[in-house]
């Protein structure tokens, strides 16, 4: 699944580690999400979008 996580992280000057801490995940999970190699649970998708101050629809391209 494609997404805009990296773009939004850059907008808020967050590292992958920073984002991982905000959502309660491992940095590796964020890496795999950004590369489109991991489909998040609905809960994780919501937490990531909330941390990046956007919506799930805007962040993830279904």
Domains and CATH numbers, the chain: 2-57 (1.10.260.40)
Report how far residue 14's alpha carbon sits from residue 19's, in angstroms, rounded to the nearest whole number: 6
CB atoms within 10 A of CB 45: 19
Quick one: pLDDT band at residue 62, thresholds 50, 70, 90? confident
pTM of structure: 0.92
pLDDT in tens, 23-42: 999 999 999 999 999 999 99
Helices 42-51 and 16-23, axial angle in degrees (round to 10): 120
Cα dihedral angle (59, 13, 53, 29), rounded to 10 degrees?
Answer: 50
pLDDT in tens, 38-52: 999 999 999 999 999
- Tokens 């937490």, residue located: 47
Radius of gyration of the chain (CA): 10
pLDDT attached to residue 11: 97
pLDDT attached to residue 1: 85
């Amino acid at each position: 699944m494609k997404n805009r996580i990296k773009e939004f992280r850059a907008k808020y000057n967050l590292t992958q580690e920073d984002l991982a801490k905000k959502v309660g995940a491992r940095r590796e999970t964020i890496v795999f999400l950004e590369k489109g190699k991991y489909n998040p649970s609905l809960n994780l998708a919501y937490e990531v979008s909330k941390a990046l101050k956007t919506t799930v629809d805007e962040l993830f391209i279904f």
